[in-house]
Structure 1
Amino acid sequence: MNRTLGSTLLVSGTMIGAGMLAMPLTAAGIGFTFTFVLLGILWLLLTYSALLFVEIYQTAEHDAGIGTLAAQYFGKIGRIISTTILMIFLYALLAAYVTGGGNILASTIPQISDAETTSKISIVIFTALFGAFIIIGTKSVDVINRLLFYIMVAALVFVLILMFPKISMDNLMAMPIDNALLISASPVFFTAFGFHGSIPSLNAYLGGNVKALRMSILSGSFITLVIYILWQLSTHGVLSQSLFLDILQQDPTLNGLVTATREITGSHAISSTVKIFSALALITSFLGVSLGLFDCINDLLKRTFNRLAGRMTLGVLTFLPPMLFALFYPKGFILALSYAGQMFAFYAVVLPAALAWQARQKHPNLPYRVSGGNALLVVVSVLGIVIVSIPFLIQAGLLPKVVG
């Protein structure tokens, strides 16, 4: 039960990244009602695809990585494609979190020599400090994640208490300024429910306990959905749609949103609390993504190259590349992150649907099987491909742009 709770909070903590704070800006032109519907649909889609991994893991060793699952059903080419896409995505995310964490740390410590030097030292400290928990083991990640998660939720509750009395029903009933924005915003909200790269780590931590893994995924993703809805409810309810669009014109960042909410609530404490929440959300996401990448590299070395690497070596392979990019070429990862949704859609939707299809052909009598039948596997695969194509349609000018 203790590990199930820890896994639940790891699922939720991985999803609730600092990007959640920018979600209201992304949804500014959509309105709360349609944002609520979009969140619900994407939660169902990604929780379903995560449960497919639970079904598939009944046919594999409990410590198998996603690359090993792909190799089991699609051979060497399946391992190469799935492992490559997953590692690029996780490295890109990790570099973004290292950069963000370093910037937050740099703003809280005395300046060393100059701003650039302080920033670089902060990036190294942040990576070494929180990367150490990954190297020590999943148990240590569980312990620190629980502590940070509880503080993060307390900070969020404090912010919501300040904002809820200011909610206006007129603001909540605002309709989309452009219905096509609902489609354009989908990839941004889609990645907000991403924790699938951590599933192999959670399955190994739980010893292949199907019931516990299923409970962790359902509970963790539902906690995240509730938190997202409450956050959207408060921000959409406090800020009118016209004010939202004014913010986008003047300052389309988190700072603009914080400034507006502080002025409306009359509380200077809100900006400090939101910054604390942002830092904690970033750290919990960093821990979840790092754990997934660490075990992905371990799986690759162990099963492809027949090499057993020590945890320190795995730690270097996990954290050195994103740290170096964060230090010397941060804009390169901003570019990579702009296409991260496509990679995520592949391994979080298309890959589990394809694996489940194969697993059901070879193992028709599995004890646990996700409901919906094979027809639903086809439907979610199509949805995944559609989501992959949306950024290209935006670039082509066929869909409106959103902030996010």
Structure 2
Amino acid sequence: MIVCWGFLLVEALLLVEINVGLRRMRGKNEDESELEVISIRTMAQETLGDWGGTLATITYVFLGYTSMIAYSSKSGEILFHLVNLPESVSSCLFTTIFTMLISVGGTRATDQVNQWLTASMIGLLLAIEVIAVAFGGWSGLEGSGDWGKVPATIPVMIFALVYHDLAPVLCAYLGGDLKRLRASVLLGSIVPLLALLVWDAIALGLSAQAGQVVDPVELLMSERWSGVSYLVEVFSLLAVATSLIGTLLGFLEFFKEQLKNLSRDSKATRTLQVNFFFCPPRSNSTS
């Protein structure tokens, strides 16, 4: 997990350097009143060419849509368990609420809501971990394990720690301040890393107690620890909400930039057409 975290951290810092470098080339600074985001597509296009921009766009849109579908589906499942609302209705309602928040409230209002949700999520995680440790769910990283199964868990670890789709928005939100960006990326990645490490240690302890391969979450939600099931469900919902906010916010700013580029290109094309109509090129032939 440390290796995955280190790889993703270096990757995020590289994205920040490229984004800030492009911002400085274009003269964008922190004094701008409007949030001007340089998207993943533009970053790839400026550094790798048109083919790189196209490939980055296809990959980003594919990953973004699949992530939103997964978050929406999971939110419906969790809300069904909590309030017995049909999954299709609850997932649509959940996604619509955060879409309206980002569209109407803007980046700063979304940031404030996200901070509150994140703080609540961390508090619930600490409470769940304390309860689990109190019931003997801790063995550290001791004991035997099957290291041959580690490669299959790498995609899950990377997905749990990934945050790179929000890098362009973060660079614009902090005005291209490299010191603040580096600190935000470093500290922001350490929090989920520590949470996952502690949870893994607890999961190993719970599995050892059960004496068989089981889902530690199912053990926590058993009748022996009644009440914890609600904590786990609410924590899961908050985790989905914060992840969905990041994906939606990154997607919104990405499409806003593409629409601006299309509008700018369309305006430039119309200007050329008008100039050509009223000022046609002169012939070089002499009578």
Query: Normalized against structure 2, the TM-score is what?
Result: 0.81
Is 1:185 matched with 2:143?
Answer: no
CA distance in 2, matches of 1:284, 1:200: 17
Alignment correspondent of 1:284: 242
Which 5+ residue runs of structure 2 have no aligned equivalent?
29-36, 267-287
Alignment correspondent of 1:206: 174
Alignment correspondent of 2:76: 102
| Per-residue deviation, 1:123 | 2.5
Q: Is the 8 A contact 1:47 1:221 kept in 2?
A: yes
| Per-residue deviation, 1:304 | 4.8
Is 1:219 matched with 2:219?
Answer: no
Is 1:175 matched with 2:149?
Answer: no
CA distance in 1, matches of 2:209, 2:81: 32
Aligned CA distance change for structure 1 residues 110 and 224 (closer, same or farther; 3 Å): closer
Alignment correspondent of 2:54: 80
Q: Is the 8 A contact 1:301 1:307 kept in 2?
A: no
Task: Specify the structure having the higher radius of gyration (Cα).
Answer: 2
Q: Is the 8 A contact 1:102 1:122 kept in 2?
A: yes
Picking from 45, 53, 59, the partner of 2:15 is 53
- Does the residue aligned with 1:240 lie in a helix, a strand or coil? helix
Residue 288 of structure 1 aligns to which amino acid in structure 2?
G
CA distance in 2, matches of 1:175, 1:110: 41
- Does the residue aligned with 1:134 lie in a helix, a strand or coil? helix
Residue 238 of structure 1 aligns to which amino acid in structure 2?
L
Alignment correspondent of 1:120: 88
Alignment correspondent of 1:299: 257
Q: Is the 8 A contact 2:221 2:232 kept in 1?
A: no
CA distance in 2, matches of 1:185, 1:258: 17
- Does the residue aligned with 2:49 lie in a helix, a strand or coil? helix
- Does the residue aligned with 1:59 lie in a helix, a strand or coil? helix
CA distance in 1, matches of 2:83, 2:230: 16
Residue 79 of structure 1 aligns to which amino acid in structure 2?
G
Which 5+ residue runs of structure 1 have no aligned equivalent?
1-38, 112-117, 248-255, 309-404
| Per-residue deviation, 1:133 | 1.6
Q: Is the 8 A contact 2:98 2:245 kept in 1?
A: yes
CA distance in 2, matches of 1:109, 1:186: 34
| Per-residue deviation, 1:175 | 2.4
CA distance in 2, matches of 1:47, 1:301: 30
CA distance in 2, matches of 1:127, 1:168: 36
Picking from 113, 122, 126, the partner of 1:157 is 126
Alignment correspondent of 1:142: 111
Alignment correspondent of 1:352: none
Alignment correspondent of 1:259: 218
Alignment correspondent of 1:378: none
CA distance in 2, matches of 1:270, 1:86: 37
Aligned CA distance change for structure 1 residues 242 and 268 (closer, same or farther; 3 Å): closer
Query: Normalized against structure 1, the TM-score is what?
Result: 0.58
Q: Is the 8 A contact 2:16 2:168 kept in 1?
A: no
Q: Is the 8 A contact 1:68 1:299 kept in 2?
A: no
| Per-residue deviation, 1:110 | 5.9
Is 1:268 matched with 2:226?
Answer: yes
Residue 47 of structure 1 aligns to which amino acid in structure 2?
L
- Does the residue aligned with 1:181 lie in a helix, a strand or coil? helix
Residue 149 of structure 1 aligns to which amino acid in structure 2?
T
| Per-residue deviation, 1:244 | 4.4
| Per-residue deviation, 1:218 | 0.3
Deviations 1:249-288 (A, max 9, x none): xxxxxxx533323559x32121111111001101010101
Task: Calculate the aligned-residue CA RMSD, in Å.
Answer: 2.2
By relative contact order (CA 8 Å, sep 6+), the higher-ranking structure is 1
Residue 160 of structure 2 aligns to which amino acid in structure 1?
A
Aligned CA distance change for structure 1 residues 208 and 172 (closer, same or farther; 3 Å): closer
CA distance in 2, matches of 1:168, 1:66: 41
Deviations 1:48-82 (A, max 9, x none): 11001122123212621111111112222111110
